[in-house]
Structure 1
């Protein structure tokens, strides 16, 4: 079994897209995931699965939420190793005054289109 972290976009923010974490854990257990743990009301969840395809897990969770709650949610699934590597590969790790508790990173669901990158530059 592989340990995964699923990050859900915009859950329980400002009273919108409400999902009780106890219900969410049951939903994921119903999908066959094991050792399901949620973090506060964020929609972030750790679980184990035999499935090795991240996209399959993302789609499965998104579809289950749509069916149960009737709203769309972007889901990103990563392994613990992938998240640790993101932090280790931080290009600012060598800065002496970098506080470990103030490191942030952003994950994108998909590769942005060239036009979007140009507009953001």
Structure 2
């Protein structure tokens, strides 16, 4: 099995605390090897013991059992993360304002059409395969678009990381 970038959605925000030492311990208890984390936002790089989909679901279940909250887990191979970076369709003016949202699946054409009904101001987004690419004009802390509404309309859970973080995770997965 090859190394994977494993991302937990929305941890260490809104009262859902997942200490990174615990996140590593859970992955190791489930048989992952070469486990490392990066910053306290649910980023894990490891070699999973089995089929990555089964491992991702086992991580979700373990977090819920141990911490009492459910969070989706999405993973990508190093090559898939590199492809997502290369596919980013927007000029990168500031890497911390440009994001890749790694989705759990591919949104339908109807869902994308529905998401396009929301105003975006100077912010931009585009779905390419299983990734939602975003460029915030003024940063994610001051979005002009209704990113939560767009995400709901897409009807596929995902977790976003800025380009700096994705690049670091790719390097860690080497």
TM-score range, shorter chain: 0.7 to 0.9
In structure 1, runs of 5+ residues without a counterpart are none
Larger relative contact order, structure 1 or 2 (CA cutoff 8 Å, min sep 6):
1
Distance 2:69 2:89 in 1: 37
* Residues 1:90 and 1:50: Cα distance change in structure 2 (over 3 Å): same
- Structure 1 segment 54-69 matched on structure 2, within 5 A: 54-69=52-67
CA contact (8 A) 2:33 2:49 kept: no
TM-score (norm 2): 0.59
2:106 corresponds, among 106, 111, 116, to 111
In structure 2, runs of 5+ residues without a counterpart are 117-174
Higher strand share: 2
Q: CA RMSD in A?
A: 2.0
Matched, 1:2 2:14: no
- Structure 1 segment 1-121 matched on structure 2, within 5 A: 1-14=1-14, 16-51=15-50, 53-92=51-90, 98-99=92-93, 101-102=95-96, 103-113=98-108, 115-121=110-116
Question: How many pairs were matched up?
Answer: 115
